[in-house]
Amino acid sequence: MPDPLLLERQGAVAIIAINDAPYNRMSLEFIDQLDLLVGEIATDNSIRAVVLTGQGQENFSVGMNLKQFATGLARMGGPDALFDQRLRVINAIETMGKPWIATLFGYCLGGGLEVPLGCHFRLAATEGAQIGLPEMDLGTVPAWGGSARLSKCVGPNHALDMILRGKKITGPEALRIGLVHEVWPLEELKDRAIALAHELAAQPAMAVRGVMEVVVKSQDRSLEELLQAERRAVRATMASPDSEEGMRAFMEKRKPVFNQQ
């Protein structure tokens, strides 16, 4: 049986691919392995940005392998534990303090959208993408945080339109409503995501964590709490090696080289 996911390293960038082409279903084995890998990445200071993609060119992911649903219930002891694991993994991605970039192409359905909603950047293909939460067609609702995160991302009007009507939208439409950050031709999409990851990985890691601590949690905290978090980030980065390098580079009129300490 092939590995459910593939991991590639390019310097400070980790590239994770769902390894079940052409549909790239999020199997029980995939979630288990992703759960472990997310914990390892969180504590590995040499990894500063992550790309999440799917093998092949057909689909990012059609979501959960529904044929395994009964097995998952039996293994986990019920639906709450099954879904809690997925929510825990997505939350760990979202709050890690390292940027994650998801590539959306072909089918991006159910969990195939809910996991990217926990990522910090989403890039979509200009053609062929079908992005949505079609759980209504199964007589149920999104179970991996999709309703909440989609609403926070695009607002309640677009979220209700997509979820209650089971709509699948294109990459350009996803860009229009703010669901994705950029669209690219399919043949360029993964390379563009990796290039963005390298750009983000080159930023000062301590400062990135500080900004993400404020921005990722901005909708769940009061302004005063956010200002306090921002001040903590300022204090942590002041007089850091990266801050000193940034000041030197500015004075010397050159591009700074961060994360060298």
Active site residues: 114, 135
Q: 88 is written with which tokens?
A: 């825990």
What span, in angstroms and rounded, lies between the C-alpha atoms of 68 and 235?
Answer: 48
What span, in angstroms and rounded, lies between the C-alpha atoms of 83 and 141?
Answer: 12
Q: Which helix (H) or strand (E) holds 13?
A: strand 13-18
DSSP-derived pairing of the beta strands 121-125 and 130-132: unpaired
Q: Indicate the length of the chain as a whole number.
A: 261
CA distances from 246 to 90, 145, 232, 235, 239 (A): 33, 39, 19, 16, 10
| DSSP letters spanning 101-167 | EEEE-SEEETHHHHHHHTSSEEEEESSS-EEE--GGGGTS---SSHHHHHHHHH-HHHHHHHHHTT-
